[in-house]
A and B are shown apart, each in its own frame.
Chain A
Amino acid sequence: MAIGVGIIVGVVVLLVVIVFVGWFVGLYNSLVRLKNNIKKSWANINVLLKQRTDELPKLINSVKGYMKHEREVLLGVTKARTAMMQAKSKPDKAKADNMLTGALKTLFAVSENYPKLQANENFMHLQERISGLENELADRREFYNDSVNTYNIRIHQIPAVFVARMLGYKEEEMFKVSEADKKDVEVKFD
């Protein structure tokens, strides 16, 4: 009977080992997936940032003729576009994105003083396109931040924190702008 009890205990131990190994493998794969979700969602934001940046020269060309006296506004958009193209790190991109969003809002607000521009089909199409991209960007930023939040919570939870430390997983930054940087966006009118 001792051998029989030994067999039963052996089966229980085997099942416990399988569950433990399964849990560890699952946790490792989960951390890999979370990390890759962040990379993918960041890449998806970059796609839209590039599309928006590419539309800007066409937008500026379409308004230049009408808004000859709004040099500062147009310059604001151009500067913000340059900053976006030069930004490498996530905080720099977030800051440049914030600047560009602010500059575009100002441009579209000022354009309402020019009825002929408002009636221009090319301008209307570009305005709609860029506004659409802004909305999609807002959704993808939210998705990116949710992905980062899920990952950051997971690597700090027990028992994943031990595995994450072992594998060198660190906290990721959210796509956001500091309060100080937000103030740079204000454009003053003469």
Chain B
Amino acid sequence: MTDFLVYSIAALVVGVGLFTKGFIWMREKKFIEELPTSNVRGLAMGPVEIKGKVEKAKLLTAPFSGEPCVYYKYTVVSKESMPPIPPIQECSQGIDCVSFSIRDKTGAVLVDPREAVIEIPKRYRYVSSLRRRPPKAIAEFCKRVGYPELLKKKKIQYTEWCIKPGDLLYVMGTAGENPHIKDTKGLKNTDDIMIQKGKDFDFFYISNKHEPDVLRKFKSKIRWGIFGGGAMIVSVVAFWVFIIWSWTGII
């Protein structure tokens, strides 16, 4: 019975969280819908929405694919139906990024992707198996993070997301003064303007999708949030009502 109570409280918390999140997503969808896309040349300070191609910048190397990139995120997950082994827990995910330029037909502007919600498709996935040797980049990664024993495990899933030069991106954030102007010497068309997470307008979003597809995705999230969360709340309340009725005959 205690388990049912704990699960029902957890379901209620999740339901309320989802319901609230649905309204937050609705607010974010409205930001995207209401703000027209700017050309880089005519950018004004404050909330902006631009789209363009990623230009070459100081590049990182993606850990699994070895591709040059300006942003990467990786996860290492055990697909075995057992509790996660310690190395998995400790090297399970990582993110790194550098400032890069976005160029459209009118010019280029710097973007600092830290603190952005970034939605891009996964570029690389590898699931280890005892029958084949892992790729060189995966083997080097495991040694670099100090867990070469991972290479001897099977069904370890290595997934990587990255943004490469030449990728077409949609960015919504705040155009403000570049606080890192000394660090960005050498980048083409670097200016004193940078798109970043703002203090007053904290929505900062980067995607490789076009705006209509981004809005469609938000619509779907809103439906899940509000109706899914609402349904969970009503279900938990109905469950409690039923339990109390079946125990006590009251209500």
- A residues neighboring B (CB under 8 Å): 1, 3-5, 7-8, 11-12, 15, 19, 22, 26, 30, 33-34, 37, 40-41, 44, 135-140, 142-143, 146-147, 150, 154
- Is B117 on the interface with A (CB-CB < 8 A)? no
Q: Which of B37, B41, B242 is A136 in contact with, Cβ under 8 Å?
A: B41
- Is B26 on the interface with A (CB-CB < 8 A)? yes
Which 6 pairs show the lowest CB-CB distances between chains A and B? Answer: A139-B42, A146-B36, A4-B241, A3-B251, A139-B39, A4-B251
- Is B127 on the interface with A (CB-CB < 8 A)? no
Given A135-B41, A135-B106, A136-B41, A8–B34 Cβ distance below 8 Å? no
- CB within 8 Å of A: which B192-246 residues: 226, 230, 233-234, 237-238, 241-242, 244-245
C-alpha spacing A79/B226, complex, angstroms: 59
C-alpha spacing A159/B226, complex, angstroms: 20
B237–A7 touching, CB < 8 Å? yes
Please give, as numbers and ranges, the residues of chain B lying within 8 Å of A143 by CB-CB distance. 36, 38-39, 42
Please give, as numbers and ranges, the residues of chain A lying within 8 Å of B230 by CB-CB distance. 15, 19
C-alpha spacing A138/B38, complex, angstroms: 11
Q: How far is the CB of B14 from chain A (nearest CB, A)?
A: 15
Given A8-B237, A44-B44, A139–B106 Cβ distance below 8 Å? yes
SS class, residues of chain B in contact with chain A? helix
Please give, as numbers and ranges, the residues of chain A lying within 8 Å of B237 by CB-CB distance. 7-8, 11
- Is B147 on the interface with A (CB-CB < 8 A)? no
A37–B35 touching, CB < 8 Å? yes
SS class, residues of chain A in contact with chain B? helix
- Is B146 on the interface with A (CB-CB < 8 A)? no
A8–B238 touching, CB < 8 Å? yes
Given A3-B251, A22-B23, A140-B42, A150–B234 Cβ distance below 8 Å? no
Q: Which of B35, B44, B234, B251 is A140 in contact with, Cβ under 8 Å?
A: B44
C-alpha spacing A168/B227, complex, angstroms: 32
Q: How far is the CB of B241 from chain A (nearest CB, A)?
A: 4
Q: How far is the CB of A141 from chain B (nearest CB, A)?
A: 9
Given contacts A4-B251, A142-B42, list 20 more A-B pairs with CB under 8 A: A1-B245, A3-B250, A4-B241, A4-B242, A5-B241, A8-B241, A11-B233, A11-B234, A11-B237, A12-B234, A26-B26, A26-B27, A33-B34, A41-B44, A44-B44, A135-B41, A136-B41, A139-B41, A140-B42, A143-B38
A15–B36 touching, CB < 8 Å? no
- Is B30 on the interface with A (CB-CB < 8 A)? yes
C-alpha spacing A142/B44, complex, angstroms: 13
B251–A1 touching, CB < 8 Å? yes
- Is B46 on the interface with A (CB-CB < 8 A)? yes
Please give, as numbers and ranges, the residues of chain B lying within 8 Å of A135 by CB-CB distance. 41-42, 106
Residue of B nearest to A5 (CB): B241
Q: How far is the CB of A97 from chain B (nearest CB, A)?
A: 15
A142–B39 touching, CB < 8 Å? yes
Please give, as numbers and ranges, the residues of chain A lying within 8 Å of B250 by CB-CB distance. 3
- CB within 8 Å of A: which B6-62 residues: 19, 23, 26-27, 30, 33-39, 41-42, 44, 46
C-alpha spacing A154/B233, complex, angstroms: 33
Q: How far is the CB of A140 from chain B (nearest CB, A)?
A: 5
A150–B34 touching, CB < 8 Å? yes
Please give, as numbers and ranges, the residues of chain B lying within 8 Å of A140 by CB-CB distance. 42, 44
A136–B42 touching, CB < 8 Å? yes
B44–A150 touching, CB < 8 Å? no
Residue of A nearest to B46 (CB): A40
- Give me 9 A-to-B residue pairs in the complex whose CB atoms sit less than 8 angstroms apart, sorted by A's number: A3-B250, A15-B19, A15-B234, A19-B226, A30-B34, A37-B34, A139-B39, A143-B38, A154-B34
Please give, as numbers and ranges, the residues of chain B lying within 8 Å of A1 by CB-CB distance. 245, 251
Please give, as numbers and ranges, the residues of chain B lying within 8 Å of A147 by CB-CB distance. 36
Residue of B nearest to A2 (CB): B251
C-alpha spacing A137/B41, complex, angstroms: 9
Please give, as numbers and ranges, the residues of chain B lying within 8 Å of A40 by CB-CB distance. 44, 46
A7–B234 touching, CB < 8 Å? no
Q: How far is the CB of A174 from chain B (nearest CB, A)?
A: 13
Q: How far is the CB of B120 from chain A (nearest CB, A)?
A: 26
